[in-house]
Amino acid sequence: MVDVWELSEVNKWFFRDTNKDWLFNSNKTAKSIEDAWEKTFTKWLLIAAGYNVVEPAKTCGLCNYYGYCNKCPVGKDTGNSLCEGSPYDAFLNDDPLSVLAEIIYLCRVYREYYKPRKRAAG
């Protein structure tokens, strides 16, 4: 099994407490929409792997990139701020399936609001 900390995407965005499985922001801000989605998905995959998050908004790539909920795809999708109305609500209430639900939800929002441009052949 691969140690999740060997993945370059993880070390790019996060560091962890050496004595605990707490996840901290590396203070690297998402500078592009691609970075924002990468950091967001990396965070939720780490949570699914059992890591705990410190300062959820600071570790969210979409929060880093957009800065305001009304510009964020999650905010646009729910019509609310602070991810209210998304599966994140259930996560805050310790629902055991909420992490999977949040990842699935983010995949849908990604497909709906962010469509990567196709590169020209050649």
Closest to 33 (Cα-Cα) out of 25, 22, 41: 41
Closest to 60 (Cα-Cα) out of 47, 70, 50, 77: 47
Q: How many CB atoms lie within 10 A of CB 40?
A: 26
Q: Per-residue pLDDT tens for 13-31?
A: 777 666 666 666 666 788 8
Q: What is the mean pLDDT of residues 21-46?
A: 82
CA distances from 78 to 8, 44, 109 (A): 32, 19, 10
**Strand-strand pairing, 22-25 and 14-16:** antiparallel
Q: How many CB atoms lie within 10 A of CB 92?
A: 13
Q: Per-residue pLDDT tens for 68-115?
A: 888 899 999 999 999 999 999 999 888 889 999 999 999 999 999 887
On whether the CB atoms of residues 105 and 86 are closer than 8 A, the answer is: yes
* H or E stretch at 62: helix 61-66
* Low-confidence winner among 43-52, 58-67, 82-91 (lowest mean pLDDT): 43-52
**Phi and psi for 120 in degrees, rounded to 5?**
-70, 140
Handedness of CA 32, 37, 42, 43 (dihedral sign): positive
